Structure 1
Amino acid sequence: MSTDTLTQDHAEQVVLPPGKHYIDGQWSDGSGSERRDVVDPSTGRVVTTVPEGTVEDVDRAVAAARRAFDSGPWRTMSPRERGAVLQRAAALIMEHGEELARLESLDTGKPITFARMIDTNTTAEHFSYFAGLAGAIEGATRGIRGPGLAYTRREPLGVVAAITPFNFPMILSTSKIAPALAAGNTVVHKPAEDTPLTALRIAELLTEAGLPAGVLNVVTGHGAVAGDRLTRHPDVDRIAFTGSTKVGSAIAATAAANVTPVTMELGGKSANIVFDDADLDEAVQAAVSAFVFNTGQFCMGGTRLLVQRGVYEQVLAGVVGGATHVPVGDPLDEGTVVGPMAGERHLENVERFVALADGEGGRGRVVAGGQRIEKDGGFYMAPTVVADVAQDSRLVQEEIFGPVLTVQVFDTEEEAIALANGTPYGLAAGLHTKDVARAHRVAARLEAGLIWVNTYGILDVSLPFGGYKASGYGRENGPEALDEYLQTKSVYVAL
């Protein structure tokens, strides 16, 4: 896919050549005639089209991945040889970093500064980190009774189906693809239907890095067709999914029919707690960035702010002031902090939630934002703060996935913990306090897979994350992620 026009800004219409599937190391138009528009969310204009993947397209991709696993060289390479290919991939991603950042910004509406600093860098780090871990894949001898030798082998699973969402296309794709490849598996990737562009480019770069044909395949299209076939396919040996809890639950039920293991990183409704002894300036700054980052399209975003009563009004005023002055605008503008929502239906969904502040019997009041921003035909939502929200409000209990913050008051540590844990989700949480004992005590009791203390949203490829409760199971990042793509075989040799 040529991306020569990506040096343009939004003063000019960016148009890319039509996209294709990437199957068995080659571009493919697909078996069907239908194509899907890829829209620039900052303008609402179509920038290219990609194929609507069919059952036949998915079957070809899985067959290519199966051949590459059963007969190709990837699985039989030494872990260090595989690691060398992934290191070259990391270097190529950094070499093409500006191109990938602009492609990601064009596809998702992500501010270009974040696409460069966070998305592209993290994507490269995924490959370099798991390239290093690949060399550490090894079994162990075990002491047993009797005259025999026993040892374990750590082996790849086979064909991995990676199904990924629209909000962090590069990061949430490569957090699955990199460890799966490092372990010796092959992959069929179905990116989000709205944001497939970087997935296709990265597959091309991995081939350039030396990945054999068929080891990574990308099929674009709708989840109800391409995604559904992929999750039902009997030749898929693991499913790695990031998305909504509703869709994840359906995929898990489907996978159970084939006894296919799944990794699920699902929805979140993360609490961010401010105690009265916190550094309030730092807490307010963290609270604002926690809910506006990536236009609120962040499954671990701090979308529920819980503030101790003695500092409630002060913190609320600070958050309202901060939210009101966040720079919202063209994602290719270097000063933009909040870009558009990734699509019109996402914006409309956020608007429906905000309307509940007045429609649930006075449960909450909008104190900042609350409306879309008309700009260049794009899908912009003003950062929104809803104060004094009841715990049983849908605004608190359901994932909004936009730049909307609810603010609640609490009196005691016990109450804060109860409120924080009082939703179906458990992906992440934050807390702000100067009391070290309290920080450890509360962190231990919060039902979430990742806890931040006196900060929010800092991630590292070495630090595993994943959900409690309805936020899913399994872990991404860290050595724990590699374990998801390996299986253990025990061998007993009689002597």
Structure 2
Amino acid sequence: MEPEMIDKRNFYINGSWVKPLVENDLDVIDPATEEACAVISLGTKDDLDLAVKAARDSFESWAATPVEERRALIVKLGEIMKKRLSELGEAISLEMGAPIDLASQDQAGVGPSHLKGFLDALDEFDWEKPFKEGQTIIREPIGVCGLITPWNWPINQITLKVIPALAVGCTCVLKPSEIAPLSAMLFAEFIDEADFPKGVFNLVNGDGAGVGEAMSSHPDIDMMSFTGSTRAGALVTKGAADTVKRVTLELGGKSPNIIFADCDLEKMVTGGVEHCMENTGQSCNSPTRMLVEESVYEQAVSIAKVAAENVHVGNPREKGGHIGPLVSQMQYDKVQSLIETGIKEGARLVTGGLGRPEGFNRGYFVRPTVFADVTPDMTIYKEEIFGPVLSMIAFDGSENEAVRLGNDTPYGLAAYLSTDDKEKGERVGRRLRAGMVRVNRKGLGRGHPFGGYKQSGNGREGGVWGLEDFTEVKILSQ
């Protein structure tokens, strides 16, 4: 018996589920089977206009709502999210292929975690502070916000945008990725169950050329917050230019992972490979360029080979620590093409390579792949692959060369380095042009700023920085 098709054709506008003005169905594809698992509607500019009007009409009253009342609604939303976390995990696993343990624990679990981080920041937020005598600096909500989120960490990005926008008194229209919209539809259900005022949160599905482009240029949207590819981020910025709205962007990455010889090589190389392969390599902050001190380079290549071959590929419905498929045929074709390019351009294929892993004849599954002897002129050194593919490069061991190669990218989202010399770690970390630098795989605290330098975007998400991004600064002198 075939599973029943999930019907999510309606949009959430002005506190109600409404039909699209024009029928335009799109199948949601299960990447593990390549078969349709759900159907949504792609909206139009007219659908968006209704959502923006609802957000505009509700803005003044929501902005004037006491912070304590807005906070209480967000707390309620968090409770609902936790109660329905397993549903959220199942939706994420189905729509984008994350194995069910990763989908339930990490992918869905970041929602309540980020929400708590924003509540902590909200409790300490400086809404007003004195400047000079008789003068006050005031932070106010910027207005109606257009939010566009990606498919690779869907609830992560939805929470990082919707929660701070609502917390500071903005209203919003969300356009989730049309590739992985099911978790977003659940999130809208959570908002509805929490009983937020009508029009404060709205959801319209659509593609970038339709709803996305209309959002960027919409005269009644005051701010765009976009997460996705650098190419699409540039289009959002261009679309927003005529209305001079604020644009915050969280874009691509090609993050370096610098391995000095004085670290625990086995631990750090293995951890670096596992991190690169996590979420099937579909994370913008993934450490995809491993720069290894040449005195231990071949040893590191051998460790990486074993580590990658210990990364198992499996069915996302099954429990375990394996990785699942890529999200779509387009991603599968892109990753296959880049692996082929790496081979043709002369990189040493250590393990993995073209085609599906053994035992798979359908689904967008790929082989965990490691390339060695990658050079800066190679495509796989420069381009974000967004798959479980690691590029290894030797460097001469000097801090200057490590920093030069680490910064040798148009991106600057994250950077990683490993050394047992604490002072060296701080010196090198301070010189890397990236928004998030982690030494010896040390974690980041809840509410930390997430974002990058250069073509990785602008603005920061998370904690107090995420709240500030959705505010205007006013000086009042009297």
Residue 365 in 1 paired to residue 348 in 2? Answer: yes
Superposition pairs for residues 343-362 of structure 1, below 5 Å? 343-360=328-345, 362=346
In structure 2, relative to structure 1, the CA distance for the partners of 1:300 and 1:233 (3 Å cut) is: same
Distance in 1 (CA, whole Å) between partners of 2:401 and 2:148 is: 38
Residue 130 in 1 paired to residue 118 in 2? Answer: yes
**Cα offset, 1:111, TM superposition:** 1.3
**Cα offset, 1:381, TM superposition:** 0.5
Structure 1 range deviating more: 365-374 or 420-429: 365-374
The correspondence for 1:173, drawn from 158, 172, 179, is 158
Superposition pairs for residues 331-350 of structure 1, below 5 Å? 331-350=316-335
Structure 1 range deviating more: 413-422 or 443-452: 413-422
**Cα offset, 1:116, TM superposition:** 1.7
Paired letter, 2:408: G
Paired letter, 2:91: L
Distance in 2 (CA, whole Å) between partners of 1:67 and 1:440 is: 50
Paired letter, 2:35: R
Residue 100 in 1 paired to residue 88 in 2? Answer: yes
User: How many pairs were matched up?
Assistant: 474
Distance in 2 (CA, whole Å) between partners of 1:384 and 1:118 is: 23
Distance in 1 (CA, whole Å) between partners of 2:408 and 2:130 is: 46
Distance in 2 (CA, whole Å) between partners of 1:491 and 1:414 is: 48
CA contact 2:274–2:311 (8 Å) conserved in 1: no
Distance in 1 (CA, whole Å) between partners of 2:263 and 2:9 is: 50
Paired letter, 1:423: T
**Cα offset, 1:322, TM superposition:** 1.0
**Cα offset, 1:336, TM superposition:** 4.1
Distance in 2 (CA, whole Å) between partners of 1:320 and 1:272 is: 16
Q: TM-score, normalised by structure 1?
A: 0.93
Structure 1 range deviating more: 327-336 or 14-23: 14-23
Paired letter, 2:403: I
4+ runs deviating over 6 angstroms: none
Distance in 2 (CA, whole Å) between partners of 1:120 and 1:459 is: 18
In structure 2, relative to structure 1, the CA distance for the partners of 1:46 and 1:460 (3 Å cut) is: farther
Paired letter, 1:370: G
CA contact 1:162–1:176 (8 Å) conserved in 2: yes
**Cα offset, 1:117, TM superposition:** 1.6
1:446 aligned partner: 432
Paired letter, 2:50: R
The correspondence for 1:479, drawn from 464, 471, 474, is 464
- C-alpha offsets along residues 36-82 of structure 1, whole Å, 9 cap, x if unaligned? 11011111111111111111111111111111113x4x222111111
2:378 aligned partner: 393
Distance in 2 (CA, whole Å) between partners of 1:272 and 1:438 is: 15
In structure 2, relative to structure 1, the CA distance for the partners of 1:162 and 1:18 (3 Å cut) is: closer
Tell me the secondary structure at the aligned position of residue 108 of structure 2. Answer: helix
CA contact 1:15–1:47 (8 Å) conserved in 2: yes
Residue 81 in 1 paired to residue 64 in 2? Answer: no
Distance in 1 (CA, whole Å) between partners of 2:206 and 2:449 is: 30
Residue 21 in 1 paired to residue 11 in 2? Answer: yes
Q: TM-score, normalised by structure 2?
A: 0.96
Paired letter, 2:15: G
CA contact 2:436–2:451 (8 Å) conserved in 1: yes
Distance in 1 (CA, whole Å) between partners of 2:444 and 2:155 is: 15
In structure 2, relative to structure 1, the CA distance for the partners of 1:483 and 1:18 (3 Å cut) is: closer
Superposition pairs for residues 68-467 of structure 1, below 5 Å? 68-70=58-60, 72=61, 74-137=62-125, 138-144=127-133, 149-360=134-345, 362=346, 364-373=347-356, 375=360, 377-411=362-396, 412-455=398-441, 458-467=443-452
Paired letter, 1:222: D
CA contact 1:383–1:403 (8 Å) conserved in 2: yes
Paired letter, 2:131: R
Paired letter, 1:439: G
Paired letter, 1:403: P
- C-alpha offsets along residues 377-436 of structure 1, whole Å, 9 cap, x if unaligned? 210011111110111211011111111100000112211111111111111010010000
Where does the alignment leave 5 or more consecutive residues of structure 1 unmatched? 1-10
Distance in 2 (CA, whole Å) between partners of 1:341 and 1:461 is: 28
CA contact 1:36–1:221 (8 Å) conserved in 2: no
Tell me the secondary structure at the aligned position of residue 315 of structure 2. Answer: coil
Paired letter, 2:404: A
Compute the RMSD of aligned alpha carbons.
Answer: 1.5
CA contact 2:118–2:447 (8 Å) conserved in 1: no
Paired letter, 2:38: T
CA contact 1:358–1:365 (8 Å) conserved in 2: yes
Paired letter, 1:400: I
**Cα offset, 1:173, TM superposition:** 1.3
Structure 1 range deviating more: 331-340 or 394-403: 331-340
Where does the alignment leave 5 or more consecutive residues of structure 2 unmatched? none
CA contact 2:7–2:40 (8 Å) conserved in 1: no
**Cα offset, 1:133, TM superposition:** 2.9
Distance in 2 (CA, whole Å) between partners of 1:464 and 1:322 is: 30
Percent identity of the aligned residues? 39
In structure 2, relative to structure 1, the CA distance for the partners of 1:447 and 1:486 (3 Å cut) is: same
**Cα offset, 1:134, TM superposition:** 2.8
